[in-house]
Amino acid sequence: MSHAPFIIGSYAVALLGFGGLLVASLLARRRVRRELGERGLERRR
């Protein structure tokens, strides 16, 4: 049995999990800041 697919799969899971969370967190911050900006509570960056 080749172990390569399991190793590649593991790193893909880590990339998707951590990368996905990072992207989702950045998008959420940008969305909230934009809404704050629209209400004049935050300077636009």
Residue 17 CA to chain centroid, in angstroms? 9
Q: Using CA atoms, how far apart are residues 17 and 8, in angstroms rounded to an integer?
A: 14
Q: Which of 16, 35, 34 is nearest to 24 (CA)?
A: 16
**Residue list 4-43, contact with another protein (CB under 8 A):** 4, 6-7, 9-11, 13-14, 17-18, 20-22, 25-26, 28-29, 32-33, 35-36, 39, 41-42
- Cβ distance 34 to 43 under 8 Å? no
Q: How far apart are CB 44 and another protein at their closest, in Å?
A: 13
Which spans of this chain sit near another protein (rule: CB under 8 A)? 1, 3-4, 6-7, 9-11, 13-14, 17-18, 20-22, 25-26, 28-29, 32-33, 35-36, 39, 41-42
